[in-house]
Structure 1
Amino acid sequence: MIVKIVLLFLIFMGVLGMFGKLRMPKLPGLAQTKCPACGRHRIGKGPCPCGGKG
């Protein structure tokens, strides 16, 4: 009985996750926070510490 409840809960959570991905596509602003030279995420508005063109 408990195994059935846990299995239904996991299936329900998986379905919610799939619908969440459909409703929340990748945000366009997140791509701008990566340095094009080294690929690290930049924090703040300053230049990247690698000294690249980002």
Structure 2
Amino acid sequence: MILKVVLLFLVFMGVMGMFGKWRRPRLPRFGAGKCPDCGRHRIGKGPCPCKQNRNG
């Protein structure tokens, strides 16, 4: 009985995973990438910390 429940759960999770991949659109990430000056990964849409004023 427990084996049937486990197998049904695994089949259900596999089907959910297939539908999740099928329905999710592949959108490009805007604002992501590396800074051309320092090479650090940018997070968000703001400027890279290397370009901000560090005097204060």
Q: TM-score range by the shorter chain?
A: 0.5 to 0.7
The alpha-carbon distance between structure 1 residues 18 and 45, as it changes in their structure 2 partners (threshold 3 A), is: same
Unaligned runs of 5+ in 2: 52-56
**Which structure's CA Rg is the greater one?**
2
* Higher relative contact order structure (alpha carbons within 8 Å, sequence separation ≥ 6): 1
Query: Normalising by structure 1, what TM-score?
Result: 0.60
Structure 1 unaligned regions, length at least 5: none
Query: What RMSD over aligned residues (CA atoms) do the two structures have, in Å?
Result: 2.5
Choose between structure 1 and 2: higher helix proportion: 1
Aligned residues: 49
TM-score (norm 2): 0.58
Runs of 4+ in 1 over 2 A off after TM superposition: 36-44
